Amino acid sequence: PYAEFARKYLGIDARTEDSRSYVVKSLRMTPFIEADPSAAHVLDVGQYSIASPDLLKLTSQGLVSIPGDFSGRSETWRFPSYMDSGRFDGTGAGSNFSSETVELYTLSENDGVYERISVRQNQVVAKSVEQKAAETASAIFRLREKREQIITGDTDATFDGEALGAAVAEITRLEEQYMTLFLGYTDYSVQKMNFDFTPVPDEQVYVVFRISDENGLVPADDMSGRPVLAVLKNVERLSQAEVTETAERGKQVEPLIYYRVPAVAEVAVSDGTKLLSCSRVQFYQLGTTLSMPVRLEKR
């Protein structure tokens, strides 16, 4: 409430309007494996069975894979949780009232002559906002002076052990409490959300999500926010020799199991010119499909 008087009584600039801003504090990239519906293969073993069945297992998504951990993500609460920093109730440094002297005049008759006589009267009035701002500023300077005296020893009071730290901490707390009347306070909220992006061949830049000044984290198709980009660089795939060898094996009659070797790429996530995260990630969508022979045995 005293922001407009901050320059006059404290010599500092204070904002006079509410503002809202969002900043990314942490970001984590987690790859998830999904079945590719465009790459389905059938293995017909007839009257035979696979010699090493423990090598393979059928996942819940219909993937035939080697044993491993393909558990899904954990859900997080998407709505922000507000942490209230407080209000200005009970923060003032003095009373809300003051007394002022009003000079009134009355007529008095003396031998037929009327004389005007002044009468002083005290009355209680509410302080103006500027008066309360001036009192609060004076209290702040008194606290600072008292803290300096305690720290430098320029005081008649003696503080031993933890008492010195406790006194300084309490004075600092009161100063910060009074300063909020000039500078305001800040409410913090934590917002957690999950966003997915699926890479496709011959595309390197993806809008993962956006940051809105009003709503915080929003999906990539919400044009109200600025984009947060993921850029794929240095995509590493299998050499041509390994791919050719697998293609020659595919011409054989023996049964084959097809699998996909992921490509490894460097992923840089940035908010404008600010780099948020940079890591090497495996992408099966950009990988190469290979095959391996299956040893069969009679049942």
What string of pLDDT tens digits covers the 299 residues of the chain?
Answer: 888 988 888 888 888 888 888 888 888 888 877 777 788 878 777 777 777 665 666 666 666 665 444 444 443 434 444 455 555 555 555 555 555 666 666 666 676 667 777 767 676 777 788 888 898 899 999 999 999 888 888 887 777 778 888 888 999 999 999 998 888 888 888 888 999 888 888 888 999 999 998 888 999 999 999 999 999 988 887 766 555 655 555 555 577 778 888 888 899 999 988 999 898 888 888 888 887 777 777 77
Apex CA 276: angle with CA 271 and CA 279, to 5°?
130
Question: pLDDT value at position 143?
Answer: 92
Among 298, 280, 259, 289, smallest CA distance to 43 is for 259
How far is the CA of 266 from the CAs of 44, 115, 240, 269, in angstroms?
39, 97, 21, 10
Specify the residue for token string 């006194």. Answer: 167
| Host H or E run for residue 48 | strand 48-50
User: Distance (Å, rounded) from C-alpha 148 to C-alpha 152?
Assistant: 6
User: Distance (Å, rounded) from C-alpha 12 to C-alpha 6?
Assistant: 6
Q: What is the dihedral of CA 57, 58, 60, 65, to 10 degrees?
A: 60
Question: pLDDT value at position 57?
Answer: 65
Question: pLDDT value at position 76?
Answer: 40
Burial class of residue 16 in the structure, from the number of CB atoms within 10 Å of its CB (0-12 exposed, 13-18 middle, 19+ buried): exposed
Q: Where are the alpha helices (DSSP H) in the chain?
A: 6-9, 129-152, 162-183, 240-249
Question: pLDDT value at position 116?
Answer: 73
Residue type, 56: L
